[in-house]
Chains A and B, each alone.
Chain A
Amino acid sequence: MARLTQLPGLLAPWALPVLLVAVWQAAAHAGLLSSRILPEPWAVAMAFRDLAVSGELWTHLRVSLWRALAGFGVGAGLGLLLGLLNGSSRRAATLLDTTLQMIRNIPALALIPLVILWFGIDEAAKLFLLAVGVFFPMYLNTFHGIRSVDAGLIEMARSYGLSGWALFRDVILPGALPSILVGVRFSLGLVWVLLIVAETISAQAGIGYMTMNAREFLQTDVVLVGILLYALLGKAADLAAHGLERHFLRWNPAYR
């Protein structure tokens, strides 16, 4: 009974998308939309099925996923490390922070010409672009998180004999974690945006390549499949970040 009453609440967020698709289908069916501009949803679904059956879809998906993960891993990993270092050590922050803040003001995408000159149009170029873009949200949030750990808690922990690694593990890192996870969430959102750009410049595989290729052959349905895939992957990344928050911040009433 309780589940039945919850049902409208669970379905409500999906009402608008379903309605939009229905209107879209009806409009296409009535001939109001040219299939070259916007094919009907059914045709998009068919294109999706064909790509899935031929295996092409999975190849592109695998390549894109790998790029995203590698770029996120390198960029966010470095951002986390430097954020932890500069957050914990005044000396390191004095030495490095100004430089990093200067680099931060250069949009990652403005580096594209330079990146192509340095790395050509290989995987290394894409990885570099993703890593640079993802680095800063992670760095800034980690740095800020460490610096804003409650000084009273640190004082208390020191007076109970905690120092060095134990102090970091039990007090500073968990205290900074809410902010660090905001960084993860930002970075995961950004990684897709950068991936789309990187893959549309030049690639031999990946969702971006698939979409650009389809554009050349006027396969609007395949273009739409690519766009929808990005939306789904972005949503999946967001859910993953949310899952991390729910797990690591379960002590915090705001995340339960």
Chain B
Amino acid sequence: MQINPIEENKVSQAADRINHGAHLNLKGVTKRYAGRTVLDAVHLKITPGEFVAVVGRSGCGKSTLLRAIAGLEKPDGGQVKIGGGGQQPEVRIMFQDARLLPWKTVLQNVALGLKDGTARARAALDSVGLLERAGDWPAVLSGGQRQRVALARALVHEPHLLLLDEPLGALDALTRIEMQQLIESLWTARGFTAVLVTHDVQEAVMLADRVLLIEEGRLALDLQIGLARPRVRGDAAFGALEQQVLDRVLQI
């Protein structure tokens, strides 16, 4: 797999990075389904460029939280504020299934919703290492390749906030590690704010600056991950943090 998101001018890139992330502010976001409270007054602040992972058991409300941030669910209470550098921030979401349109080629999928975006779509495909598959139908790609196309489709809009709803959950272990490296390198190069929902604690500790645990619709843990990047699985500090989060998740 070739990954080449590296731009030429490192100095201006650093400046771009700071400007490129959106900040996110949730104030008492509440969501109920048929009388059951899925999100219970969640307060959360995320600074621009931060990588936040949200973990929790299935059904704890972590996906609903992400969908509320994305605007796909209307909260019953509270508000979601997403701010960028003055203009309307671009928010993109990646789903657990790639959700590529099977009747459009890989390139057309990436260019979805863009006006005259073929050149940019090609560049985005190149950044996930799939330029040579531009003319193929999604049906002939592997699961990992489809998710890389979905990632390119999100990135072509240069999002200020990228939401990842268990996008690697259905991939095999090796492909998942590759995808984590790809996401991390693209995040490092572009500096968007990222919120990753995952059930994989190791993945959360691997990628995130901050790991949040949601339990019964509430924030139960907010842990800074101070490890230097690139992180090494199996490293003692890494293992300790992973165990700490895992113990807390399994506590109930």
For residue A170, which residues in chain B have a CB less than 8 angstroms away from its CB? Answer: 101, 104, 112
Query: Could you tell me if A162 and B113 are in contact, using CB atoms closer than 8 angstroms?
Result: yes
For residue A156, which residues in chain B have a CB less than 8 angstroms away from its CB? Answer: 95, 99
Query: Could you tell me if B137 and A251 are in contact, using CB atoms closer than 8 angstroms?
Result: yes
Query: Is B162 located at the chain interface by the 8 A CB criterion?
Result: no
Query: Is B102 located at the chain interface by the 8 A CB criterion?
Result: yes
Known contacts A153-B99, A174-B103, A251-B102: A160-B112 contact under CB 8 Å = yes
Chain A: how many interface residues by the 8 Å CB criterion? Answer: 19
For residue B102, which residues in chain A have a CB less than 8 angstroms away from its CB? Answer: 251-252
Query: Is A171 located at the chain interface by the 8 A CB criterion?
Result: yes
Query: Could you tell me if A152 and B139 are in contact, using CB atoms closer than 8 angstroms?
Result: no
**A236-256 interface bits toward B, Cβ cutoff 8 Å, 1 = contact, 0 = none:** 000000000000011111000
Quick one: which of B100-143 are within 8 Å of A by CB?
101-104, 112-113, 137-140
Give the complex CA separation of A242 and B113 in angstroms. Answer: 32
For residue A161, which residues in chain B have a CB less than 8 angstroms away from its CB? Answer: 113
For residue B103, which residues in chain A have a CB less than 8 angstroms away from its CB? Answer: 174-175, 177, 249, 251-252
Query: Is B40 located at the chain interface by the 8 A CB criterion?
Result: no
Among B97, B99, B103, max chain A CB count under 10 A is at B103
Query: Could you tell me if B101 and A152 are in contact, using CB atoms closer than 8 angstroms?
Result: no
Query: Is B70 located at the chain interface by the 8 A CB criterion?
Result: yes
Mostly helix, strand, loop or mixed at chain A's interface?
helix
Query: Is B72 located at the chain interface by the 8 A CB criterion?
Result: yes
Give the complex CA separation of A249 and B102 in angstroms. Answer: 10
For residue B93, which residues in chain A have a CB less than 8 angstroms away from its CB? Answer: 159
Quick one: which of B58-106 are within 8 Å of A by CB?
70-72, 92-93, 95, 97, 99, 101-104
Give the complex CA separation of A252 and B137 in angstroms. Answer: 8
For residue A159, which residues in chain B have a CB less than 8 angstroms away from its CB? Answer: 70-72, 92-93
Query: Could you tell me if B139 and A252 are in contact, using CB atoms closer than 8 angstroms?
Result: yes
* Minimal Cβ-Cβ distance residue in A for B153: A160
Cβ contacts A to B, 15 pairs, < 8 Å = A152-B99, A155-B72, A156-B99, A157-B112, A157-B113, A159-B70, A160-B153, A161-B113, A162-B112, A171-B101, A177-B103, A252-B102, A252-B103, A252-B139, A253-B140
B-side residues, CB < 8 A to A, are 70-72, 92-93, 95, 97, 99, 101-104, 112-113, 137-140, 153, 157
In the complex, given contacts A159-B71, A170-B112, A251-B103, what are 20 additional A-B residue pairs having Cβ atoms less than 8 angstroms apart?
A152-B95, A153-B101, A155-B72, A157-B101, A157-B112, A157-B113, A159-B72, A160-B112, A160-B113, A160-B153, A161-B113, A170-B104, A171-B101, A250-B137, A251-B104, A251-B139, A252-B102, A252-B103, A252-B139, A253-B140
